[in-house]
Structure 1
């Protein structure tokens, strides 16, 4: 499925000569930058098999596994390989993803949840299998929230008064209320105040106090609570030796703290090297991650056993489990000390799913890598990636492709470099060079009845068809010469449309309809046709990536319809 459509129909120029549309540079530049700002991503979150993104305009987008409706598409449970917008949300400031459920925090301090509710993680008071929600619902009587996080099947929320609240699965005391009782509505964690940050793992939790100390509770089988023991704790206990923490992160069964000096400390399960201390020995108290300084952010894979960190220079470093390429170093080799993820710089935010990872760049674009069996990388495929790839839906399209050309004839074909058009009356066929604005004549009937019926660009030339006494004859033309001639060919192939997109005409009106989105995307009346083309773009330091777009060809005019 291609990126979502944003219709941008360019105006019409009534000219008899070839003329590209030119806009006021300063006005166009400012409006385009404003549009980029609104569409940029600020935050990402990873679940077991799905991903979430928060845009600057307050909307939430989701992709990947959707078996419990965790993508927030009402009444649907289809997996999505590219992002779709979550319904009912428009002013979100934070997001979180659990195993098969999702959370959003709105600017008014309310919390919204959707997806699996088998352990009460939606917070609606039911908590029975089969009563999940495929679209967000508000958690009632719960407000003044400033931060959220989701564990495997439970959640934490931090209120503006520094208290922490929890709900969902409580098998190991991860809700911190002194019991192992499942909670279907939020309950306050006792003995915690002055909290500034929270973090959830598979079955254990952490909180950071204003004094820089870290507190933990829940499953402690691998020492992930950092209190020097392997005893499960049903209420918060203090992590040993951490007094100047500024950030925390919780993985499946390991934990991390970022100190004010930019160093990272880790403890708990280390079977994949996820503690980053150069070995695979379990640690029940914090140890320093080797060779890593100037860190500004961290993320840990729930269940997957890998860890990510962003340094002040915008580079991403990773260590631990790499079976699915979730470290992003181009390999599948586990790492017990940090390695740099490839092709990543200027990163402002990161997130980890079970065996996949995300990074947000400072320009609001998103990269993903790792396991992709449910489409959780959002790149339109189910192919796992060992190095970061762009999620095209969040990558700004070069605005040069918002275009209009008009000829005194009809445009037949076009690509990034050329346009093929025939003059009114079908007597002449012209090839126009978009780069230098020059053109050459491919065919002229010279007064004969042999008019052009079809024409298209080939890889390195032009193929066109003339009709002699009702018999089509086709020609292959290149650099001013006809190199081949054959009879009978009238079709040159078809374009593959984006998944779920249908074009049809009824009573003189042409419609572009998305079966995936269930809505009409574009329509026009009268003559003309819609063409879908895929071109390849690249930017400074970026790998090339394909981008698909629809165009309307009508009466010699070419309209760009933004996708």
Structure 2
């Protein structure tokens, strides 16, 4: 089957591809849309059919995000849907099902972000809604409930994007300013210290930021001129250097080419250049850097076998790239999140034809 993939998202063990039609195809484990009777076991997923499924019956989506076994989507009718592993009723949905359920309390949403027990959405006015488990003030708002329903985060300008890490969030304003809140154990908030932040705080960066990408405990920020700033954990070199184990302030990353898109996985990073090349750095235990080995890299390394790449995504331990010819994947493939590739795929594998 030939597809026209417009966007991709990678989560814990699922892959989502949004087509030109607005339909979403899913591969892999929980949150992929693959119907599983009974409870979904996210810790010990069974190997599944390597073919994709369509998410929902006849839904068309304008945005989608794959998280830690749970996925979110915004429909063409401006509704937020959730599906996947949700046994503790996050967002008021007390079920674990691959059949999408409606989250009713978000007005006119335009984009969503799914994490590990924390979730977010932006509406047309650029307001930020958050919900989930408010560990370390990860939701950026005062609430009496640990497991709280969607609500607006105040004290922010109009936003264009939000990205989630492990119990923290990074928000990007329409003016190119970065804000952070939540856990800050390794400087992932970029505030120059290691104290948690209960409300949004501005991150000092000497440039206007175009986009952001967030891993488990590190952050990447893309400037409008193609330069990249990074901060947070650097245990595996995911900040692109080996000077220290973490940076609590935004530090300019040296890239061999100008970057147009960034993606961040659990402890690794990806950069797509203006020329359509892909660079990878950081943790590589499952081959998620695509370098034909499992050795970490502390400097951006070009991923071979890719050309004319249009989009990238990074999951917990797998990576994706969309070219004019195919949808490529590499890294962990235990439950078929990159189709019929090897269980540990060390180089990019074209697992679906792109039309």
Q: Are the aligned partners of 1:280 and 1:336 in contact in 2 as well (CA < 8 Å)?
A: no
| Change in CA separation of 1:284 and 1:119 when aligned onto 2, cut-off 3 Å | farther
Q: Are the aligned partners of 1:52 and 1:63 in contact in 2 as well (CA < 8 Å)?
A: yes
**2:170 is the counterpart of 1:210:** no
**2:156 is the counterpart of 1:192:** yes
**Alignment match, 1:322:** 284
| Change in CA separation of 1:213 and 1:90 when aligned onto 2, cut-off 3 Å | same
| 1:330 CA displacement | 1.6
Bigger shift: 99-108 or 81-90? Answer: 81-90
RMSD: 1.9
Using structure 1 for the length normalisation, give the TM-score.
Answer: 0.59
Using structure 2 for the length normalisation, give the TM-score.
Answer: 0.92
**2:117 is the counterpart of 1:153:** yes
**2:24 is the counterpart of 1:60:** yes
| Change in CA separation of 1:329 and 1:187 when aligned onto 2, cut-off 3 Å | same
- Cα deviation 1:47-80 (Å, max 9, x = unaligned): 11111111111111111123xxx22244545633
**Alignment match, 2:56:** 87
CA distance, structure 1, for counterparts of residue 101 and residue 112 of structure 2 = 15
CA distance, structure 2, for counterparts of residue 272 and residue 299 of structure 1 = 16
| Change in CA separation of 1:345 and 1:195 when aligned onto 2, cut-off 3 Å | same
| 1:369 CA displacement | 0.2
| Change in CA separation of 1:164 and 1:254 when aligned onto 2, cut-off 3 Å | same
| Change in CA separation of 1:320 and 1:179 when aligned onto 2, cut-off 3 Å | farther
**Alignment match, 1:71:** 32
| Change in CA separation of 1:280 and 1:273 when aligned onto 2, cut-off 3 Å | farther
Q: Are the aligned partners of 2:191 and 2:249 in contact in 1 as well (CA < 8 Å)?
A: yes
Q: Which runs of 5 or more structure 2 residues have no equivalent in the other structure?
A: 41-45
CA distance, structure 2, for counterparts of residue 269 and residue 182 of structure 1 = 26
The number of equivalent residue pairs is: 347
Q: Are the aligned partners of 1:277 and 1:288 in contact in 2 as well (CA < 8 Å)?
A: no
**Alignment match, 2:346:** 386
| 1:210 CA displacement | 2.2
- Cα deviation 1:345-404 (Å, max 9, x = unaligned): 1111111111110011135x21000011222222x2552111100113x445xxxxxxxx
Q: Are the aligned partners of 2:282 and 2:298 in contact in 1 as well (CA < 8 Å)?
A: yes
What SS does the aligned partner of 1:62 have?
A: strand
Which residues of 2 match residues 446-457 of structure 1 at below 5 A?
none
**Alignment match, 2:336:** 375
CA distance, structure 1, for counterparts of residue 206 and residue 86 of structure 2 = 35
- Cα deviation 1:520-556 (Å, max 9, x = unaligned): xxxxxxxxxxxxxxxxxxxxxxxxxxxxxxxxxxxxx
**Alignment match, 1:500:** none
**Alignment match, 1:29:** none
Which residues of 2 match residues 348-359 of structure 1 at below 5 A?
348-359=310-321
CA distance, structure 2, for counterparts of residue 180 and residue 299 of structure 1 = 34
Q: Are the aligned partners of 1:119 and 1:154 in contact in 2 as well (CA < 8 Å)?
A: no
CA distance, structure 2, for counterparts of residue 362 and residue 280 of structure 1 = 39
CA distance, structure 1, for counterparts of residue 273 and residue 144 of structure 2 = 38
